[in-house]
Amino acid sequence: MMLDSATRPYRTGYLTVAGQRLRYSVANEGRGEPLVLINGIGATGDLYDTLRSHMGERETIAFDAPGVHRSPAPLFPLTMADYADRVSGLITGLGHSEVDLLGVSWGGALAQEVAHRHPRKVRRLVLAATTPGLGGALGRPAALALLMTPARYYSPSYLRRIAPTLYGGAILDHPELLEEHARVRNQGAPSPRGYLYQLLAISGFTSLHYLHRLRQPTLVLAGDDDPIIPLENGRRLAQHIPRSRLEIVAGGGHLFLFTRAAKMAQVIGDFLDEQRPDDAAP
C-alpha cells in the first residue's frame, strides 16, 4: 500500500553528506523518538511505506542509499563504514542527536555498522532478515545468484517470475504486495553502478568481531523460510549482541517485514517503547 499526503503527510527533501546527495522522507515529524529505516540492496526507501502505514504516530525517516532512485551513485566504491558515516551525517543533518535504527537485509548489515561506529546516535536497534556478513550462514545458491544482478528492479515481469525462489515465505500468497513492490522497485530502481558498489561493500563486510561490543538494546527478527538470509544468521546475531533477543517469524520469507507489516509493526513498536531495567547501561 502506497501512502499519500492525504492519509499520511511526508516531508521529502535532500541533504548533502560528505559530498553525497541523499534523498529522504519524514513521516510524523517531531512525534516521539525517530525511527530511521535502512532498506535492502538496491531498494528505495519508498518500499517501507507499507510498514510505515502501521507504525502509528511514530516519526519515521526513510532514505535512498547512494546510487538508489534519486540519490546519485558515488564516484568511487564505498565501504560499509563509508555508508555508515553517511547515515550518521543524515541523522545529524535532520537535527537529531539520537534515533532508533531499523535495517533489513543489506540495510541490517549497515545498521550494525552505524551502531558500531556511531554508538551515541543509536538508542535501540532492530535487525530484520539480516546477517553478520563474512562468517555468517550462506543463503541458497539459486537465491544468491539472482542477487548478483539488479534486473528485478528494471523488469516487473522478471521480479514476479523469480520472487518465489528469491524471497520464499509464500510471497505469491500476497499478489497485491508483489505487484506494488514490482511497481515501486521499477520506478525507484538503483543505477547499475550504485548496485555494484553496494554488492562490493557487503562482500567484504563482517560484524562478528565487534558485535559483543554493541550496547544498544537490539531486536533480531528472522524468518525460518528465508532463501537469502537463513535463520542461523539471526541466531548468531542474537548470540553475540549482549542486550539482544531473537524473534523467529514462522513461515517468514525474506520479505516478512512487508508481507506481515501489521504484525511486525506491532512487535517493533512494542520493543521500541518498552522500559528495561538496563536501559541506562553504558
pLDDT in tens, 253-263: 999 999 999 99
Cα–Cα distance for residue pair 263/274, rounded to 1 Å? 17
Q: pLDDT confidence of 157, banded at 50, 70, 90? A: very high
- The distance between the two most distant Cα atoms of the chain, rounded to a whole number of Å, is 50
Catalytic residues: 105
Q: pLDDT confidence of 120, banded at 50, 70, 90? A: very high
What's the DSSP call for residue 172?
G
As assigned by CATH, the class of the 10-273 domain is alpha beta
Work out the number of other CB atoms within 10 angstroms of the CB of residue 184: 21
Asked whether the beta carbons of 178 and 255 are under 8 A apart, the reply is: no
Three cell numbers, residue 74: 558515488
Three cell numbers, residue 106: 543489506
pLDDT in tens, 164-204: 999 997 888 888 999 999 999 999 999 999 999 999 999 99
Q: Where are the domains of the chain?
A: 10-273
* Helix, strand, coil share of the chain (percent; to 5): 40, 20, 40
Q: Are strands 218-223 and 122-128 parallel, antiparallel or unpaired?
A: parallel
Half-sphere exposure of 191 (CA within 13 A, CB side): 13
